[in-house]
Structure 1
């Protein structure tokens, strides 16, 4: 996954639709949260086993929501001047130090 390319493509969509005015860090964080809620809704009321065995339709829907979340987070990183690859790798390294044997 080339994060720079994905970010540039999202910027083109944003710019073509004059959405930059709405893409403040606050709004992007809120939008990602809304999309996360839509992902959670797919699993609401399912048992643990059912949540691991989604129908093809629900699995496709979950994938769409995950995509929405990732794309909003890419835009948020861009607005904040964060390198997503770097922050994810840094957090993973932190988790490895904290939780690995």
Structure 2
């Protein structure tokens, strides 16, 4: 993990902050509102896959891929914005979560299983 770097995520955070400031949207960007917007965008991402079979979800056409990219971007942008408002370093939080999951899901115990960490 030490080879990873946070520069791009930091730049994205600053760009999103400026975007909101330029539009005087800070007043609307409370953690509550941002989390609700994030949930809405996640639902829009889910909608891209509604009624598709497992196989079809891997074989999206250009229009479907474009829609998925847009929704993934929206999810990322609202996540970055919410983390900024709460002073959460997303990069560090993600690295910490990977470490926690590594402990919860030891490969030798969970390999090939979809069970949750408290079920094995």
Measured against the shorter chain, the TM-score band is: over 0.9
2:52 aligned residue (33, 46, 63): 46
Deviation, 1:82, is 0.5
Is the aligned partner of 1:74 residue 2:113? no
User: 2: CA distance between counterparts of 1:24 and 1:87?
Assistant: 20
* TM-score normalised by structure 2 residue count: 0.81
Deviation, 1:12, is 1.0
User: 1: CA distance between counterparts of 2:23 and 2:87?
Assistant: 22
Q: Secondary structure at the match of 2:59?
A: coil
Deviation, 1:98, is 1.0
Name the count of aligned residue pairs. Answer: 101
Match of 2:20 in 1: 14
Residues 5-64 of structure 1, C-alpha deviations (whole Å, 9 max, x = no match): 001111111011000000000000000110000000010000000011111110111011
Structure of higher RCO (CA pairs closer than 8 Å, 6+ residues apart): 1
More helix by share: 1
Match of 2:10 in 1: 4
Give the greater-gyration-radius structure (CA): 2
Q: Secondary structure at the match of 1:60?
A: helix
Unaligned runs of 5+ in 2: 1-6, 109-120
Match of 1:57 in 2: 63
Match of 2:100 in 1: 94
Is the aligned partner of 1:34 residue 2:40? yes
